[in-house]
Amino acid sequence: MAVTDRVQSPPPNTNQRASRDKSVKRLAFSQKVSKWDVKLSPYLYISPFFVLFAITGLFPLAYTAWVSLHSWNLIGGQGKFTGLENYEFVLAQPFFWNAVGNTFSIFLLSSVPQVVVAIAIAAVLDANLRAKTFWRMGVLVPFVVAPVAVGLIFNNLFADQAGLFNELLTGIGLDPVRWHSDSLASHAAIATMVNFRWTGYNALIFLAAMQAIPRDVYEAATIDGAGRLRQFFSVTVPMLRPTIIFVVITATIGGLQIFDEARVFDQAGLGGADRQWQTLTMYIWELGWGQRNFGRASAVAWLLFLIIVIIAMANFLITRRIATQGGRR
Amino acid sequence: MHSRARITALSAAAACLALALTACGSGGSDNAGVEGETGTEDVTLSVGTFNEFGYEELFKEYEELNPNVTIEHKKAATSNEARDNLTTRLAAGSGLSDIEGIEVDWLPELLEYPDQFADLSDPAVEGRWLDWKTAAATTEDGQLIGYGTDAGPQGVCYRADLFEKAGLPSDREAVADMLDGSWQDYFDAGKKFVAASGGTAWFDSAGATYQGMINQVENAYEDDDGTVIATENPEVKDIYEQVLQASVTDGLSAHLTQWEDDWVASFQSDAFATKLCPGWMLGVIEGNAEGVEGWDIADVFPGGGGNWGGSYLTVPTQGANQAEAKKLAEWLTAPEQQIKAFESKGTFPSQVDALKSDALLGQTNAFFNDAPTGEILANRATAVEVTPFKGPKYFAVNDAMQQALTRVDVDKTDDPASSWEKFVTAVGAL
């Protein structure tokens, strides 16, 4: 009762004061909002990436780890908790180590020539050509072709008995290469498909970086009497170092996850009767979808993840070394 | 006012979207399953098949008979591809066709998850198929998960022109007489042929020939209770050694892997003279050997009759139009329709009435030198004595075995002994 009374009979001048209070409060609120704006907005602006990453990257990663600790059937779903049994099993499998070897072999056969050839192509494209855009778009065409389509075309070329490559080889009196039997030959064939697809793409990245090199450096080199080749090795390549590192890292990640080209290399898609070209991702596929053992497949997926992390760290250390060396110059 | 109207419209649209999403998320709880009404609403039915089911013309016919139905055909090139697709989408819980074709070899795995497939048992179809065909697709509780389409009774396809050149009898009856008997007789005839053929092999692939032999063994890889005995079973090892002896040591194989590019191309280059052929293989040979003359088929199969493959149509429970799908599957697998599929692609019917029908028995195949393929395959179907037991690991073990054979026959990376060791390891890892 007393409380209501007090409110009901305010002093005559409080009305004015209250309204002034209100406007002060409103000012304080808008200040607060602008303070939040300054403090929080940047995080809000970058949050879509992290939210998406959490949903599509982090969650699957954690869930895969969870699956790998269980016996888990593709259709039947979760079974009992088995701890590290799946990892033990997988690490004892000769097919696993074979797949590790194949993955690195195909990766090296594809990435190394790819980077070297891409730089060479970029250097040519950087020269003063007629119909520049045509040539530049031209190198990107293979990238537009779907990997499975590339696989189908190259399969025809690499067929052991009826393929074009072997017909050409026997035509000039050489022995045919056993593309689908010999391990290294199959790696070379698959690496060819990968290179066909990615070289042009990398060449364009190198080209962009080359065009960012200031032209006066070249002019200075020309005045110093450096020829085209000397300019390429002493000016272009050193100036491209950060781009080369970027391309090597993306090629590493892609190369260790190679799947499509190797999978369509024959009809069964398991990497050959003796697993001559079975990569780690194909081994995951075989375990998960062929044998329907999701637990073991997830264990391999996590081991692959760890391998990539190790390689990425090695890359990082090498990169830092190169960067500091570059600084000392 | 204007902006308020827009906001109202937008929120209405959002509400609709939300409704649509819930409808989607509830997984069609208002679905009447296979017992629903049919023939009223317009529906689009997707049908997933692989290789050659011979249904292209039948789909058109069904669409004319049922104007409310539009059929969308999804055809996979190989059965492995279809199996991967089926498994992935079963696991994902969505994305399967309304009707999915499956091969007899996958049944043991799929029967472990009967609630993924609609129960198709129906008094209307009782007794439609050969008993063993229905039994293989029925669970212990009597749920029928698939309608049988074709069966794979096998004969021997051969190149009459190449036989003649090598001095072997070339007409159907004489060839059947020559090859009648055991597998050894078949291989012996091959040795005679290869000696005179000037480079043409006797059969296409060790794996395919092995498939014919292993399908005559009742418990090849597993005991009736599902225990894997593949690596200890002397019968399996004997067949393995016999087929590799013939393929590699005696040089009877063209060293090809079935379905590979080289295998497909070899039909155009006289690479081999005989091939074990179940009914569904006739269409494949005709396609691959287009323009080649001389193919014929003999009414014989070494070692007794043999059945290779054969398929079923299933209706996955994740589909929205199960009643319409069941109706279509029932229609497609009726004897009359299966005879038409046989006429179009040589897929041999598994329906009792179809086997007796004049339309089937009078069927000839122009590509195979006008051979009475209907009569020959019907004879081959009655010659089948053994229904091999196929447990949950059958598919995987057989795959490992095919790879073991390929290593020796095609890749030549191993000898029979070392490849067997790898097979034992692979089976142990299943």
Q: Which residues between 54 and 83 in chain A have a beta carbon less than 8 angstroms from any beta carbon of chain B?
A: 74-76
Cα–Cα distance measured from residue B242 to residue B240, given in angstroms and rounded to the nearest whole number: 6
For residue A95, list chain B residues with Cβ-Cβ distance below 8 A: 426, 429
A110 contacts chain B (CB < 8 A): no
For residue A156, list chain B residues with Cβ-Cβ distance below 8 A: 261
pLDDT of residue B21 exceeding 50, the answer is: no
pLDDT tens for B346-364 read 788 989 888 888 888 988 8
Q: What is the pLDDT of residue A329?
A: 41
Q: CA nearest B265 in A: which residue? A: A162
Residues in B lying within 8 Å of A, measured between beta carbons: 78, 80, 84, 87-88, 90-91, 109, 112-113, 116, 256-257, 259-262, 265-266, 269, 396, 399, 402-407, 410-414, 422, 425-426, 429-430
Q: What is the pLDDT of residue B167?
A: 92
DSSP 8-class letter at B125:
G
DSSP 8-class letter at B368:
T
Taking all residues of chain B, what is their mean pLDDT, rounded to a whole number?
Answer: 87
Q: What is the pLDDT of residue B237?
A: 95
Q: What is the pLDDT of residue A284?
A: 94
Residues 6+ apart with CB under 8 A from B416: B240, B241, B244, B248, B408
Q: How confident is the model at residue B299 (pLDDT cuts 50, 70, 90)?
A: very high
pLDDT of residue B296 exceeding 60, the answer is: yes
Q: What is the pLDDT of residue B32?
A: 56
Q: What is the pLDDT of residue A209?
A: 93
A156 CA to chain B: closest CA distance, Å? Answer: 7
pLDDT tens for B38-90 read 878 899 999 999 988 889 999 999 999 999 999 999 998 888 889 888 988 98
pTM: 0.77
Q: Do A162 and B413 touch (CB under 8 A)?
A: no
pLDDT tens for B187-228 read 999 999 999 998 899 999 999 999 999 989 989 999 888 899
Q: Which of B102, B113, B253, B262 to mutate to test the interface with A (most CBs of A within 10 A)?
A: B262
Taking CB atoms and an 8 Å cut-off, how many pairs form between chains A and B? 84
Residues 6+ apart with CB under 8 A from A202: A114, A115, A118, A247, A251
A302 CA to chain B: closest CA distance, Å? Answer: 19
Q: Which two three-digit tokens encode residue B408?
A: 């020796």
Residue of A127, A121, A124, A110 whose CA lies nearest to A193:
A110
Q: What is the pLDDT of residue A190?
A: 93
B115 CA to chain A: closest CA distance, Å? Answer: 11
Q: Do B262 and A161 touch (CB under 8 A)?
A: yes
Q: Which of B117, B260, B269, B401 to mutate to test the interface with A (most CBs of A within 10 A)?
A: B260
Q: What is the pLDDT of residue A322?
A: 66
Any alpha helices (H) in B94-205, and if so which ranges? 107-110, 131-135, 160-165, 172-179, 183-197
A268 contacts chain B (CB < 8 A): yes
For residue B414, list chain A residues with Cβ-Cβ distance below 8 A: 274
Q: What is the pLDDT of residue A23?
A: 67
Q: Do A159 and B260 touch (CB under 8 A)?
A: yes
Q: What is the pLDDT of residue A207?
A: 93
A162 CA to chain B: closest CA distance, Å? Answer: 6
Q: Do B87 and A272 touch (CB under 8 A)?
A: no
Mean pLDDT of B284-296: 92
Q: What is the mean pLDDT of each run of 10 residues along chain A (329 residues)?
A: 45 58 72 86 90 92 94 86 93 94 94 92 88 89 86 88 89 90 93 92 93 91 91 88 85 88 86 92 91 92 92 80 55
**What are the Cα distances from residue A297, in Å, to A74, A177, A254?**
10, 33, 19
Facing residue for A274 by CB, picked from B113, B269, B411? B411
Q: What is the pLDDT of residue B6?
A: 45
Q: Which of B129-133, B239-243, B257-261, B406-410 has the lowest mean pLDDT?
A: B129-133
Q: Do A276 and B78 touch (CB under 8 A)?
A: no
Q: What is the pLDDT of residue A324?
A: 59
Facing residue for B430 by CB, picked from A267, A272, A291? A291
A147 contacts chain B (CB < 8 A): no
Cα–Cα distance measured from residue B37 to residue B167, given in angstroms and rounded to the nearest whole number: 64
Q: Do A161 and B412 touch (CB under 8 A)?
A: no
pLDDT of residue B24 exceeding 70, the answer is: no
Facing residue for A289 by CB, picked from B87, B259, B403? B87
